[in-house]
Amino acid sequence: MMLPNGAGIAYQDEILGDRDSRGVLWDRATTNPGRGTPRFARIHVHRQRRAMRKLLCQVCAGPADHNHDGTLWLIPDRTRHWPAWPEGMLVAEPPLCLPCAHTATRTCPALRAEGHLIIRAREHPIHGVDGTHYREGPRSPAPVTSEPVAFDDPAIRWTLASKLVRTLRHCTVVANR
């Protein structure tokens, strides 16, 4: 539903846990820890958000690998589209620990097909969220796009967040395949 005076979107039956401390509306998801099978392209909303906030491994939920070169990230290789890649890149994929990075490169179909970079980033501030952006509709909000939105962007009031997003800075490529 739309909030009065074009103030954004809300759930009709919104509860306290639907928004974070910044007032961002988050997608709802059920939790069944330890159940199910991995869906590589679709990390669970709550798991992704916790892993990004606390810099936990996206696979095992233990601490991400960190050394003097920075925190370990495994990302699809987009160097041919962006010469400075991955400097300044927005990421919704949480970091990894070293053992899980090796497992992920062998088991994730997208990483095998497109190639990937294993990088370390010394800085990785939280940027905002990724999710479905809505606009005012005649009766209810209408979905428009799905893209990252910074916390200071007014569009965040019209975004149903599904992922926390960080910016990678001071990156070092460890390996590419």
Report residue 61: phi and psi, to 5°: 70, 10
Amino acid in the structure at residue 19: R
pTM (2 d.p.): 0.86
- What does the mean pLDDT of the chain come to? 86
Tens of each residue's pLDDT in the chain, 177 residues: 667 677 899 999 999 889 999 999 999 876 655 666 655 556 778 889 999 999 999 889 999 999 999 999 998 777 777 777 788 999 999 999 999 988 888 877 777 767 788 899 999 999 999 999 999 888 888 889 899 999 999 999 999 999 999 999 999 988 766
pLDDT in tens, 38-72: 555 567 788 899 999 999 998 899 999 999 999 99
| The Cα angle at residue 125 between residues 121 and 128, in degrees rounded to 5 | 130
Distance CA(88)–CA(57), nearest Å, equals 21
Say how many C-beta atoms besides its own lie within 10 A of residue 5's C-beta. 6
* 104: amino acid identity, one letter: A
